[in-house]
Amino acid sequence: MRDRIKEVATELLITHGYRGLRFKDIADRLGTTRANIHYHFGTKKNLIEEVIQDYVEGTAVELKAIWTAENLAYVERVRRMMEFNRQRYRRFNPAGKDGRPWSIISRMRLESDVLSRKSKDTLRGFSETAEAYVNDALAQAIARGEIAADAPARDIVVQIVAIIDSAGSITSDAGSFDRLEHLYTAYLRVLTHAYGGEKAPRLAAVAE
């Protein structure tokens, strides 16, 4: 029952936010009682802390698979990150043009004033994890000659992590996935054009 509660809570938290999440709505969806939810989690704060923790940990696993995959060019890692975002976006926006929230991470950052310290730390940890993976992937790309050795590595990492971190907000503001896709693609084109290494022609072709 705990897992089912968290599954429904995750969806409702994404669509309705912290303030809009009610035990009654979860209970109605599961055909149970609010008392049963209180029995498992005690308070709304406890439930949300656990949901955020699970979501961030699950997303970090996906990031690790993307950014640490062997023999994968940096540009392809970025493209896979974009497709990962697209899949989550389409789950909550099947028509593709709704711009509804699809990420707990971006949604909860909009309500950080009501989050517990633990939840805030969890969200901050996501950004730090993403940056660590991207930094290592870029270092490997430079070592392989995909990106020039004199490329401003820190700036390159900061730019893509900002896109990853803000993906949910970007799609919500734009009302579709198009703006986010444009940002990912523009990032790749500028990167490969300005700092392409020995393998720049191949990378540039992928970025088109």
Kindly report the CATH number assigned to the domain that includes residue 77.
1.10.357
pTM exceeding 0.85: yes
- Residue 77 within a domain: yes
Rounded to an integer, what is the distance from CA 64 to the centroid of its chain? 12
Collapse the DSSP code of 176 into the 3-class scheme (helix H, G, I; strand E, B; otherwise coil) and give the result: coil
Total number of domains in the chain? 1
188 Cβ partners below 8 Å, 6+ apart? 75, 78, 79, 206, 207
Query: How many angstroms separate the CA atoms of 55 and 50, rounded?
Result: 9
Query: Tens digits of per-residue pLDDT, 113-160?
Result: 999 999 999 999 999 999 999 999 999 999 999 999 999 999 999 999
Q: Which residue from 67, 25, 64, 21 is spatially nearest to 44, judged by alpha carbons?
A: 21
Token code pair at residue 80: 């896979």
- Residue 4 within a domain: no
- Residue 94 within a domain: yes
Query: Tens digits of per-residue pLDDT, 32-76?
Result: 999 999 999 999 999 999 999 999 999 999 999 999 998 899 999
What is the residue range of 58's domain?
Answer: 53-207
